[in-house]
Structure 1
């Protein structure tokens, strides 16, 4: 079947469904839910899957909001997975556009299935909680949720449209300092100030920055600094995120942060409880360039203007990184703020995620993903090449 005929069939089905898809994206935007609490969002997506003939499994990997929608009764090959990220940012709502990601992946799954009901293989929508923090896909990946897939993808809203964007490994650290409370004015000498140990840790971490490589990042916040100014804090808590292009280096820097905390506590007689969450570490994302070349052509043929820049510019982190070392995967972007540099994780980006431009970009993403899904499912040579590329990258890891 020629590209034009495939595209026309998908466009016709999309046109029949675009109104309710846009309404759903706005509804999710209006009711943002943070990591591991995406109950309403998950329910809305599952409801639409059931309404459109998908078989649904819930509570994947023991996660209450994770789900799998399958176009067949059972998993079959070739199997493609469209990933629906669902969580919002605390205090900012959908300032990373996950409402658009969730619905574009849902739309691609439904449109592809309806346009080509006899397509051999399995079209799957995988509901993925806690991308922003907590590593939902890391947990699901460790549980083997994605192992059967031949290909996985999502399209992420951004301020520019690119096929390739690399990401940093990420390691989370929790620090809790235990001191001794006392009256801050009448008897400060009888206390042990846990906050002092925490502040000193921040100072020590700042002194480590000269040892970091070019794309390394250490960011921290204080989540508990005491109860009142007239009480010597007997407990203080902080969270640090350590990032680097290499997971091994990120873990090395995380241990430096941990040592800074232990030394700061020891210096004043406090105790430091350190938790490096290695089991939830995000691996750096590795794009499948064989698949990327196909998607690049699709973008161009359906009129999506590419603005591919430096793949290492403005890198963040994603738990799709872990999945990308197990299954051929793509994490392209699409602009929802054309002509404007609007940073993700901002109030302005949250507004853009519910804008007319955002919804139009979502519809383009649905078409692009559906076309990509069709190509992967009908081209066995492409699947072989994608898997061969991933095998080679694993050898070099």
Structure 2
């Protein structure tokens, strides 16, 4: 049966690679991926999937489902299709979409025989607003057996960890005055922003080593001879787990309170993007994927490296068993989130990555759907991870 999956995907690789290349040539930013969402959802509709567009209030989100007549496990796959500003698909989301499309087409061929259901979620804005997290909150993945996606990378790695992330905006409100004639009448909001940065820098030596705090100043005044009455900064705060992150958030907020006290400015704190949870890889599910990748001829699969970034499938991993493995494009000198990486996705190496990822995803879904023993192992591991937090 796995040979049938592989052959089906191989026979249609020209279509899948063409889809990936089209996404590469037409990059769209998060929640503005109108053409990409239309292309992908239209493809699934033409393949006989039941398609819902604009799901959960997001215009560029969709889901495409297909099931056999026999009931069975429900597997989720993901398409990502938002690009990076000025770079395009430097994170390889065009390949991610094509891999999930290929996997879904390969699985559809056999669902009537093995039963079960697959649903492909089109999830916009992974780089910014993390729509998967909102879908998870709204119950999109309730009752599903497992959720999977594969991500292109410099090297091939097993699914591992990611950092929880909160995006905070700090706005300071002061009082304008002539900076030379009457500075004593002003309250400098920019000074408050700078003091916040100084406080955060002093805080760094008193947080765990996995914590990351990085920010930018977005507003700092309009002219040197006017005391700035408004200043603003945006920060990403990250940690391996949500509890540690919550503690760090409170410490950074106290830095802002200190800046208020020292300058007389008032501060307003808000979230400018959605929160990302840490990724909890289901090792049982990951083992199946790794075995299938090896069966496809992948010789060098690295153990999961320490998570240093943040991904919105982390939120999904707190609701259902999840894997997020990395498939190497075979160029060790590449750096992800660059134009060079984006260009590599449309080479023969990118095509090979697409094929391996699509086949391994579909083969792993097949393993789960057809084995009650594997379903039990995956479910029990997930329950243990729930109680350990």
Give the TM-score normalised by structure 1: 0.92
Does residue 36 in structure 1 map to residue 31 in structure 2? yes
- Confirm or deny: 8 A CA contact 2:66 2:119 kept in the other structure: yes
Q: 2:279 aligns with which of 285, 291, 307?
A: 285
**Equivalent residue runs for 1:207-356 within 5 Å:** 207-276=202-271, 280-309=274-303, 311-312=305-306, 315-336=308-329, 338-356=330-348
**Greater mean alpha carbon deviation, residues 179-188 or residues 14-23:** 179-188
What is the DSSP-based 3-state SS (H/G/I as helix, E as strand, rest coil) of the residue aligned with 1:71? strand
Deviation at 1:276, TM superposition (A): 4.8
CA pair 18-258 structure 1, distance change in 2 beyond 3 A: same
Deviation at 1:73, TM superposition (A): 9.3
Task: List gaps (5 residues or longer) in structure 2.
Answer: none
The CA deviation string for residues 111-147 of structure 1, in whole angstroms up to 9 with x for no partner, is 2113554431111111112221212111100000011
The CA deviation string for residues 42-99 of structure 1, in whole angstroms up to 9 with x for no partner, is 1111000001000011222222222110014999531111111222222322111111
How many pairs were matched up?
A: 389
User: Partners of 1:68 and 1:15 in 2: how far apart?
Assistant: 24
User: Partners of 1:286 and 1:387 in 2: how far apart?
Assistant: 13
The CA deviation string for residues 219-266 of structure 1, in whole angstroms up to 9 with x for no partner, is 111222233344332222211111111211111111211121222123
Does residue 357 in structure 1 map to residue 349 in structure 2? yes
Deviation at 1:180, TM superposition (A): 2.2
The CA deviation string for residues 178-214 of structure 1, in whole angstroms up to 9 with x for no partner, is 1223344444443322112111111110000001212
- Confirm or deny: 8 A CA contact 1:161 1:305 kept in the other structure: no
Does residue 159 in structure 1 map to residue 154 in structure 2? yes
User: Partners of 1:59 and 1:327 in 2: how far apart?
Assistant: 23
Does residue 191 in structure 1 map to residue 186 in structure 2? yes
CA pair 347-326 structure 1, distance change in 2 beyond 3 A: same
User: Partners of 2:228 and 2:32 in 1: how far apart?
Assistant: 31
- Confirm or deny: 8 A CA contact 1:13 1:115 kept in the other structure: no
Deviation at 1:345, TM superposition (A): 2.0
User: Partners of 2:116 and 2:197 in 1: how far apart?
Assistant: 52
CA pair 187-26 structure 1, distance change in 2 beyond 3 A: farther
Structure 1 runs of 4+ aligned residues shifted over 3 Å read 72-77, 115-119, 182-190, 228-231
**Greater mean alpha carbon deviation, residues 67-76 or residues 216-225:** 67-76
CA pair 97-377 structure 1, distance change in 2 beyond 3 A: same
- Confirm or deny: 8 A CA contact 2:168 2:235 kept in the other structure: yes
CA pair 39-324 structure 1, distance change in 2 beyond 3 A: same
Q: 1:94 aligns with which of 89, 93, 102?
A: 89
State the partner residue of 1:390. Answer: 382
The CA deviation string for residues 4-42 of structure 1, in whole angstroms up to 9 with x for no partner, is xx2331232223321121111111122222222222211
State the partner residue of 1:3. Answer: none
Q: 2:107 aligns with which of 112, 137, 143?
A: 112
**Greater mean alpha carbon deviation, residues 168-177 or residues 109-118:** 109-118
- Confirm or deny: 8 A CA contact 1:35 1:132 kept in the other structure: yes
User: Partners of 1:234 and 1:29 in 2: how far apart?
Assistant: 43
CA pair 152-285 structure 1, distance change in 2 beyond 3 A: same
The CA deviation string for residues 141-189 of structure 1, in whole angstroms up to 9 with x for no partner, is 0000011211110001111101232111111111111122334444444
